[in-house]
Amino acid sequence: MVIRRVKDKWHNSTPEDPARDVLTEKTVQDQASALAYIIWGKALNGAINLHAEDFRYDDDQQRIGVLSELLAFQVQLVDRRASEFLQASNRSELLQALCTKLADQVQDNLSDIAGPGNYRPPFIKLLNNRFADYSNFAFAAQQPGYQCYRYLGSRVLEHMGDDQTNRWVIDQIMEIDAPDLTEQLNKSINRLFGL
């Protein structure tokens, strides 16, 4: 299993100006940037881990599809968690900024992989569709329900193809990858927001 370490704490250094004794709070935009970086890294690790577990990708489109599903899953987790500690206006601002930053990362990376194109609209459409889909699933005690994990697994399988090698990817997602991803993201959210 290949894992990239992702920083998820704010650096608490002393302000440059010695006359100031209070560090400025991070803005919603700062939080969204940090979360986008963390979520991207965790999704990338997840896609790489599936390959390391001997699931097969036939092409870059499958990898991109799986990566996009892992991104969408994490965004909806951030939304659910943010409802616990942010007011509605700040939550909306955070999610919009987060989705914009992730769409920028998708655009940059797909331009490198697949060549010039406008990759933001399909990714934003996917996020909107997944928000609607995931809203039907239970979420309690900072954890998605079984159906949520199963749904993610079925979306990943759809991208990877249901062949002899990949048919067990739903189990891998449901039993190992999605719970681990949820736990890691919850820790990152708690650290970033001081919870």
Asked if the structure places residue 104 within a domain, the reply is yes
Q: Tokens standing for 195? A: 């919870």
pLDDT of residue 114: 83
Residue 165: what pLDDT?
87
**Whole-number pLDDT of residue 23:** 35
Residue 12 lies in a domain: no
> Which among 43, 187, 56, 186 is positioned nearest to 127, based on CA atoms?
43
- Residues 96-120 have a mean pLDDT of 93
pLDDT for the residue 195: 80
pLDDT digits (tens, 9 = 90+) for 153-193: 999 999 998 888 899 999 999 999 999 999 999 999 999 98
Residue 4 within any structural domain of the chain: no
Q: Is 14 part of any domain?
A: no
Residue 9 lies in a domain: no
- Domain membership of residue 83 (yes or no) is yes
- What integer pLDDT is reported at residue 137 of this predicted model? 96
Residues 60-84, mean pLDDT to the nearest whole number = 94
pLDDT of residue 25: 64
What is the full DSSP assignment across 42-107?
A: HHHHHHHHHHHTT----SHHHHHHHHHHHHHHHHHHHHHHHHHHS-HHHHHHHHHHHHHHHHHHHH
Contacts 24+ apart (CB under 8 A), 131-140: 131/75, 131/76, 131/79, 134/72, 134/73, 134/76, 135/76, 139/80
Range of 172's domain? 28-192
Domain count, the chain: 1
Q: What is the pLDDT of residue 11?
A: 45
Output the pLDDT for position 164.
Answer: 86
Mean pLDDT of 94-121: 93
At 18 the pLDDT is: 43
Token output for 46: 């997840």
The per-residue pLDDT for range 8-55, each reduced to its tens digit, is 454 444 444 444 333 346 788 999 999 999 999 999 999 999 999 999
144-158: average pLDDT: 96
Query: Quick one: angle between helices 88-114 and 60-85, nearest 10?
Result: 170
Instruction: Give tens-digit pLDDT for 111-144.
Output: 988 889 999 999 999 999 999 999 999 999 899 9
Q: Looking at this protein, which amino acid is placed at residue 55?
A: F
**Does 51 reside within a domain?**
yes
Assess if residue 3 is contained within a domain.
no
